[in-house]
A and B are shown apart, each in its own frame.
Chain A
Amino acid sequence: MSATIPAPVGRLRAVWDRPAVRHGLLALLTAAVLLFPFVEGDDADIDSLANAAAYVALALGLNIVVGFAGLLDLGYAAFFAIGAYVYGVLSSFQVLPAWSPFWQPFAALHLVEKINQGGGDLVHFTLSFWLALPLAAVVTAGCGVLFGAPTLRLRGDYLAIVTLGFGEIVPIVARNTPYLTNGAAGLNGVQAPHLFGYNFTVQATPYYYVGMALVALLIFTSIRLRDSRIGRAWMAVREDETAASAMGIDRTRAKLLAFAIGAAFAGAVGVFYVAKLQTATPDMFGFPVSVMILVMVVLGGMGSVWGVVLGAALLSLLQSWFLPDLSEWLHTLGAAIGNDWLQQIDLARSIELIFGILLVLMMLFRREGLIPAARHAPSLDFAAQHVQGVQRGGFDGELAATALALPEPGRGNLLEVRGITVRFGGLTALNGVDLVVPAGGVVAVIGPNGSGKSTLFNVITGLVPADSGSIRFAGAEILGLPPHRILAKGLARTFQNIRLFANLTVLDNVLIGQHARLSTGAFGAVLRPPRTRAEEARALARARSIIALFGNRLAPRAAQAVSYLSYANRRRVEIARALASQPKLLLLDEPTAGMNPAETLELAEQIRSLHALGLTILLIEHKLDVVTQLADTVIVLDHGEKLAEGRPDQVRRNEEVLRAYLGRAAREALDAA
C-alpha cells in the first residue's frame, strides 16, 4: 500500500505511452479476464471478482461525477439503491396486486406471471434482468437530474453535504415504505437473470462475465466521454466554473449531465448487484458504501479511468482475498507457535479502518492517486527552450484566415452599452455608463484601479448582473443572458487575473474555447459517428492553427499543463482560447499586464494584426503607449462614471482625466516632456 512511488510510475508511463504496448497490455488483460473462470476452479474466487466488477463499475460512475466534473458527491450510493430497488421490486414477491385481465398482455410479454399463495390469484412481477439494466439506468439518471437541478449550483462543500443528506434520505425512505421495499428486512427472492432459458441462479461464472462486460462497457463509455467535447466541458467546470461559463459552457447543464450519467452507471450496477445477491436491504446503501466508492476513486486517481479501475479492484480484492488469506496465514502461524491472539485475528473486519487510513494518506502524500489522470508533457528543458530564437509566428496570410474563420464584422455599432448601473450593497461600482464599440473598431477603457473597468467587462459578459441599463450586441439585447449564451453570440474575453484551466494542457484550453462552436452531445461522444469524428478533427486542426499563430511561444508547449507556463505565455493562451470561440468582439482585460517591454510590443502587434483581420476589440489597458498605439477611441472611467471619451490624443490632454487618472505629478511630468 505504498502511497508514493513516483519514479517507477514515471518510467511505467513512458512505456505505457507507446500505443503498441498499450494495445498489447489491453489484449492481455482482456484474455486474462475471459480465461480466469477456466483456470480458477473455486467458485468463491470467481464470485469475489464478480463483486469486484460491481465496485469497479460504481467507482467508474462516481469518477465521472467527482473526477471529471469535480462535484464531490457523498451520497452516490443513493443512486445505487434506486437502481437496485427498481429491479428488486419489479422482480420479487414484494408487490403482489390482485390478478385481473389487465395483466394478461404483460404476462404474454413475460413481464408478470400469475401466482397463487393461498387466497386469490396474484400478479408476480418478473421484469427481465436485461430490460432492467437500461430501465434502471434511465430512472436513476432522471432522479439524478431531479435532485441535481436545484442543488448543483451550490458551492462544492455545500454540495457535498447536500448529497450526503440525499444519500441518507433514500435508505430511510426505503426503510419506511415497507409495502414497496419490505422495509429494513429487505426484498427477498429477487429473480436471478435468465439468458435464453438458462437460469443464472447462484452460480458464480455467469455473473462474473456479465459484471466484466458491464465494466468493459463503462470503461469504454468513460474514455469516450473524457476525450470529447463533453469531457472537456466537465474538466473546464471542475477547474474554474466562472471561466468555463465565460468560455461558452452551460455549467448547470454540464454538471447535470455528469450527475445523470454517474447516476445511470450506479443504477445499472444496482440491478446487477441485486440480481446477484437476490436481496436488497436499506443498509446495503448507506454512507459507508458511498465512502468506500470514494476511497476507491481517490486511491486510483480522481479523473483517471484506469486508475479508478485499479483502485476499485485492489480494494475490493483486499477485502475478499488478501485480508482473509492473510488472516488465514496468521491463524496457521498462531497455531504453529501457540499464540491465541494470532489465531483469533480477523483482518477483514478492519477494512473500514484501512479505508480511513488510505483516505488520509492519499490526501496528504499523493492526491493524484496511483495512476494520475493528468498526463502532461514535462516542461521544456533548457536546450529545447533555446534551440531556436523566438519566432513570433504570423498573423497574416492563409494560416490566420483558416485558423480564425472570423464571422463577418457587419456594420454600424457592434456593441452599445447604455446607462449601465451596478451596485454591490451600498457601493455603486458603475453609474449610468454608456459605451459604444463600432464594428471593426478598437476601443480602450482606461481608469485608475477600482474605477469599475473590470466590472464593466463582467457586466457585458454576463458574469455580474446590472441594476439598470441596456447592452445591445449586433442589435440584440444581451443584458440578463447567462455568460455562455453571450459567448455564443460572439463576445469572448480574457481576464485580468488570468483564468485558465490550470491543470489542463494548452491544447485542451484552446479546444474548450471552441465549445460553443461544436455540437457533439453525450451520445455522439460515446458512439463517435463519422460526423463527430470529422468535427473533432476540425476542432483539433483549428486549435493547432490558433496555437501556431503565437509561433514557437506556444506550439512546442501545446501538450503542457498551462500551470507550468510563464506568465506571458499564459496570457497568450488565454487570448488563443478566446480566439478559438470565433468571436466578433474580443474583450481583453489588461492583456499586457506583467509583460516586459519587448513582449508588450509583440502582443500589441498581434492585437493589431487581429484587428486588421476584421476583429472588433474592446480593451482595458494601463499602459498608455499601448492604448495610443492601438485604440481608435478611449473611454476613461473614474469611480464608476465615464469621465471622458475621445481619440487617444484628445484624452491624453483632457485636464480632468489627467487629474483623476495620473495625478498632479504626472501632469507636471507630461508638461516637462
Chain B
Amino acid sequence: MITRRSALLAASGLALLAAAGAAGPARAAEQVVKIGIDASLTGGDAQSALLVKDGALLAIDEANAGHVVPGVKFEAMVLDDGTATAGQYDPAQGATNARKMVADHNVVAAVGPQMSGVGKAMAPILSWGDLATITPSSTNPDLTDPKFAQQYRPAGKPIYFRTVATDAFQGPNMANYFADTLKVKSVYILDDTGAYGEGLANAFQAQAEKKGIKVLGHDKLDPKAADYSAVLTKIKQLNPDSLYYGGVLQAGVKLAKQAYDILPHEMPKAGGDGLSGPEMLTAVGYPANEGWYSTNASPHVTEDPAAQAWVNRYKAKFNVLPDDYAITAYDATEVIIDAVRRVAATGKPVTRSAVRDAIQTGKVKTLQGVVSFDANGDIEDRVISIFQIHHDPAYPADDMIHQFKYIGVAPQS
C-alpha cells in the first residue's frame, strides 16, 4: 500500500526504504484484482486458520500461474481477525478488517471469515460496501437467514455466501447421531459464549430434546478462563451419558484436557467443526483427546482419491496436510476466480457488484463437487461429516487426515 502518504513518510527520514520500495518489481500492465482473506490467525484457532488461509492462497497462486483470467493478476489481502486481547477471533477486529477491504477499491470479493462471530460483525459493513464474501467455515445460520436481512444485509442483496452447510444442520444432525447411533439417554451441553458456539449448542439442544435425549444442563465457558474444573465437577455429579460442546478451540482445548482428568474416559464427548482443528491434536495431546467426536459442515474430501493430487500440491507448498476446511477455502476462492473470469469474459469492468452477481449465479466444479448458492447465499448441497480422534502412532501427531478418523455422514432429520 504505497500511497500519497508515503511522501509524508519519506520526508520523515525513511527515504532509503522508500527507494527500496520503488525499486521493487515493476507492476505489470495487468489489472490487479484483490481478494480479501480474513481468518483468525492469532489465538486459539491459529493453526486451523493457517490451513484455511493457505487453501485460499493456493487457489490464487494457481490462478495466477495458469493465467486463468487473462489480463488479471490476483492479489491476496490477508487480514487477521484474531487479537491477542481476545486470545481468539475478535468480532471488532473483523469489523475493522471489513472496513479495510471496503476502503480498498481493488478488493472485489473476499474469502472468509473463518468464524461466525466475526461474520456477524462484518456482514453489515460488507453489505454497505457491496462486497461479496464466501466463508469456508462460518456456519451460524442467522447470517444468511432472510429473517435477519435488515440486520446482516442492510443494503439489500445477499453478500454472504458459504461453501459449507450451516449449524441448522450441523447441530441437529449430530444430535441425531447421538440418539440413533450412540444411543445416549442424557447429555450435558456447554458453549463458549461465542455467536457460533452458542448457536450450535442451541441447535443441538433443540434437536436432542426432540429426539428424547434428556438435557441435564447447559453452561457457558469463559474462553479466557484457565479453570473449568468447577463446571466439570458439577457435570460429574450429574453423571450424564454424554457431553456436547459448541465452540471454538480457545475454550475447547482446555475443556478437553480438564474433562479427561475429571469425567469418565468412556463418556462420549463431541463438538462441532470448531473442534476439527490441529490444536485438538497438538495442544490437547494424546490421550486426553482420544475419543472426542467432531463434525465438519462439508463433505469429507481429503481422503477422496480424486483429491489426492491436490492434497499433495498443498503438502508440497505449505509442508502440512490440509483439512476439509482448507478445501472449502480453496473452493470458495475458485468460485470467486471463476466469477471474475466470467465478468472479464463479457468485457465489462471487474467491479464488486458484477462479481457479486456472478458469484450468485455461478455453478462451479470444485473439489467438493459442484458449488452453487441459493437465493440467500447458502450452499445447495448440505453435508455434515463426523470424525473421531483416534491416535494412530504410524502418522505424525498433527496429521489432520489420519488422526481424525472419518466416521461418516451424520443422519439428516
Contact = CB atoms under 8 A, between A and B. Distances in A.
A47 B151 CA distance: 23
B124 A44 contact: no
A175 B92 CA distance: 14
B194 interface: yes
A286 B85 contact: yes
Interface in B1-59: 1-6, 9, 14, 17-18, 20-21, 23-25, 42
Given A175-B222, A185-B193, A44 B21 contact: no
Contacts of A329: 14, 17-18, 20-21
B128 A202 contact: yes
Interface string B186-206: 000000111100100000000
A279 B118 CA distance: 10
Interface string A329-362: 1101101100000000000010010000000000
Given A115-B150, A328-B1, A281 B90 contact: yes
A281 B92 contact: yes
Contact of B90 (A189, A283, A324, A326): A283
A322 B83 CA distance: 20
B92 A279 contact: yes
Interface stretch (B97-105, B304-312, B374-382, B404-412): B97-105
Given A204-B103, A279-B92, A326-B14, A175 B193 contact: yes
Contacts of A189: 124, 150-152, 154
B203 to A, nearest CB: 15
Given A47-B103, A185-B198, A336-B20, A279 B85 contact: no
Interface size class of B (residues with CB under 8 A): 35 or more
Contact of A186 (B5, B83, B117, B125): B117
B129 interface: yes
A279 B151 contact: no
Given A45-B5, A47-B103, A278-B124, A185 B23 contact: no
A277 interface: yes
Given A115-B150, A185-B195, A325-B9, A47 B117 contact: no
Contacts of B14: 326, 329
A93 B148 contact: yes
B9 A322 contact: yes
Contacts of B65: none
Interface stretch (A35-43, A141-149, A526-534): A35-43
Contacts of B96: 277
Interface in A368-424: none
B113 interface: no
Interface in A95-140: 115, 117-118
Interface string A143-185: 0000000000000000000000000000000010010001111
Contacts of B102: 43, 202
B299 interface: no
A459 interface: no
B91 A42 contact: no
Given A188-B124, A283-B85, A117 B148 contact: yes
Given A185-B198, A189-B124, A324-B1, A352 B99 contact: no
A336 B95 contact: no
A192 interface: yes
A284 interface: yes
Interface in B97-121: 98-100, 102-105, 117, 120-121
18 contacts: A43-B102, A92-B151, A183-B198, A186-B91, A186-B117, A186-B120, A186-B121, A188-B91, A188-B151, A189-B124, A189-B154, A202-B129, A279-B94, A281-B121, A325-B2, A329-B14, A333-B17, A336-B23
Given A202-B98, A325-B9, A333-B20, 13 more contacts: A175-B193, A188-B121, A189-B150, A201-B155, A202-B99, A202-B102, A277-B92, A280-B92, A284-B90, A329-B14, A329-B18, A329-B20, A335-B25
Interface of A: 39-47, 92-93, 115, 117-118, 175, 178, 182-186, 188-189, 192, 201-202, 204, 277-281, 283-284, 286, 288, 321-322, 324-326, 328-330, 332-333, 335-336, 349, 352
